[in-house]
Chain A
Amino acid sequence: MTPADLHLQVDVAHWGWSIAWFLWFVGIAGMGSVAYYFVRRSALIITIFASLTIGLLLVVSHLGRWWNLPRTLYLMVLDFDFNLGSWMLLGIATLSVHLVLTLLLLIGHLPALTRRIAWLKWTETLRAQAGYRGLFAGVGAFATVYSGFLLTQAAGIPLWNTSLIPILWVVSGSIAAIAVIELLYVLGLVDANVSAAGVRIGMVLDGVKLLAVLGFLHVALSYGSAGARYGAILMTQGDLALMLWGGVIGIGILVPLAIGAYTLLREKRKSLLAVSAVCALSGVFFLRAAVLLAGTFEPLVL
């Protein structure tokens, strides 16, 4: 039976596609920063910087009163009044720090720039510093975790009120980072040995992601409130079923798993790796979009 008082958050709060893309880009940039600790390639830091910038532009463009953002920040600083209990504020701070750390690394990867502007030369040493890379990885991982808790803290949407979401975001963000490295390998920007490790780790993470997605749905369907259950039904049998079964699980998990198995057992083909990486990245996006769009307010009347 469909409750009488049923409203999707996307119709009321308008957290739609732009937020789904934002979560996707933050996942790539966040867990990409963890990958950068091990894979210090220019192409990777450029990807992280681009993802973070596009993600931030998307989220700012989504603000209903984006033109008022400077004043809100000014008043916050003027009164020294920070709502540290808000995950969104923690996220804004984290993403700002992440962007600065990324920019410094990016500058260090651009010799043409550091040759022209001598005082920027010190940035070239940053990538060699394990401490800086560790900080960068930590901030990136926290940014990914934040993007999960951003949903978890939204008390009006019971489907999201589970700590499985930050876990799902970290696992799928890691898959996205590995997929980016695979694509860079296909393009000749990363060594073959890095790619080989990525295939194995990616397959393990695909398995974990599959379990986590099914666990998330099981908890919502079996033990969730009416709003959580309805959201999960939307994902498993309703308007979002194609996105879940086809996009998240079929394209996003099973295809990369099959290609990974073929690569390990038979041969490594760049064309297949490219398909696997694109599928994995698509699956990560579909997961965020499906969870976001399935968000439903708790019905007050059944």
Chain B
Amino acid sequence: MARPNEAKNGTPSRRLAHLWDESRCIACGACVLACTMTNQPEMMAREEKGWGGLASNIRRIESANEQGRPTLLLVQCQHCDDAPCVRTCPFGAVYQDDDGLIRLDARRCAGCSYCVTSCPYNVRWFHPDTHVPAKCMGDGCLDLIAHDQQPACVQACPAMARDFGDLNDPESSVSETLRTQRSRRLLESAGTEPKYFIVEGS
């Protein structure tokens, strides 16, 4: 029984990636809200106890720099090309689909949390009702991209700080931005080949 949109021969035909421009972000939280509304609307009034705050597939990390100025980091599933969660899932529930996205087939999930402890980015959270370890992309956003639309966070961002597209396509806006602007990835040393890019500006 094939997993939804499973990559043929283990090689995805696309490499869809998220891009977050921290120099444009105004920290309004619209992406976080849109994510929950689209993917887990039942969680809108409920707290994610592990991280604290709204249960969303986007984790918001607020801090301060050395000068004491507030900083923000938005983190979500990095859809790693070499994802540890895919390696560790005992039942093969976590897999890379044909779009290069890391997905979870809930039919095969027993809720062991191994994918949660295996993620260096701490971007999975336990849904209190389904007990499925939730993360980006949720079903709502998968439905959007299946209909050639952008994910909810990209659509909701008022500052155009988010983008989503195919790294294999040199003409995509994501590829264009990465060619022309300075960017970084989180925990490069983990060797997971993440596909979540933080644009630092030109």
Which A positions have Cβ atoms within 8 angstroms of B? Answer: 4-5, 7, 9, 11-15, 62-66, 68-69, 71-73, 75-76, 78-79, 81-83, 85-89, 91-92, 153-157, 295, 297-298, 300-301
- How close is A21's CB to chain B, nearest CB, in angstroms? 16
Residue pair B108, A13 in contact (C-beta under 8 Å): no
Give Cα distance in the complex from A69 to B107, angstroms. 10
Which B positions have Cβ atoms within 8 angstroms of A? Answer: 1, 49-51, 61-64, 71, 73, 75, 84, 87-93, 107-114, 116-122, 124-126, 130-132, 186-187, 190, 192
Residue pair B113, A300 in contact (C-beta under 8 Å): no
A65 and B117 in contact, given A72-B110, A88-B112, A89-B90 (Cβ under 8 angstroms): no
Contact of B89 among A7, A13, A86, A297 (CB under 8 A): A86
Give Cα distance in the complex from A88 to B90, angstroms. 5
Contact of A75 among B1, B120, B122, B130 (CB under 8 A): B1
Residues of B within 8 A of A157 (CB): 117
Residue pair B117, A156 in contact (C-beta under 8 Å): yes
Give Cα distance in the complex from A234 to B19, angstroms. 35
Residue pair B117, A300 in contact (C-beta under 8 Å): no
Report the nearest A residue to B125, measured CB to CB: A12
Report the nearest B residue to A88, measured CB to CB: B90
Residues of A within 8 A of B186 (CB): 300
A155 and B119 in contact, given A5-B61, A83-B91, A300-B186 (Cβ under 8 angstroms): yes
- How close is B35's CB to chain A, nearest CB, in angstroms? 18
Residue pair B87, A86 in contact (C-beta under 8 Å): yes
Residues of A within 8 A of B130 (CB): 65
Listed A/B pairs (27) with beta-carbon separation below 8 Å? A5-B73, A7-B51, A7-B122, A9-B116, A9-B117, A11-B49, A12-B50, A12-B124, A13-B113, A13-B116, A15-B113, A64-B132, A65-B132, A69-B110, A72-B93, A72-B107, A83-B92, A86-B89, A153-B118, A154-B88, A156-B84, A156-B116, A156-B122, A295-B117, A298-B120, A300-B75, A301-B73
Residue pair B108, A72 in contact (C-beta under 8 Å): yes
Residue pair A63, B91 in contact (C-beta under 8 Å): no
A86 and B90 in contact, given A75-B1, A156-B120, A298-B187 (Cβ under 8 angstroms): yes
Main secondary structure of the interface of B (DSSP, over half): loop
Give Cα distance in the complex from A73 to B109, angstroms. 10
Residue pair B88, A86 in contact (C-beta under 8 Å): yes
Give Cα distance in the complex from A86 to B130, angstroms. 24
- How close is B70's CB to chain A, nearest CB, in angstroms? 11
Residues of A within 8 A of B87 (CB): 83, 85-86, 153
Residue pair B111, A83 in contact (C-beta under 8 Å): no
Give Cα distance in the complex from A76 to B119, angstroms. 23
- How close is B122's CB to chain A, nearest CB, in angstroms? 4
Residues of B within 8 A of A66 (CB): 110-111
Residues of A within 8 A of B126 (CB): 12-14, 64
Give Cα distance in the complex from A157 to B119, angstroms. 8
Residue pair A64, B131 in contact (C-beta under 8 Å): yes
Give Cα distance in the complex from A156 to B119, angstroms. 5
Residue pair B118, A12 in contact (C-beta under 8 Å): no
Give Cα distance in the complex from A63 to B113, angstroms. 8
Report the nearest A residue to B88, measured CB to CB: A86
Most chain B CB within a 10 A radius of its CB, from A7, A15, A92, A301: A301
Residue pair A72, B109 in contact (C-beta under 8 Å): yes
Residues of B within 8 A of A76 (CB): 91-92, 108
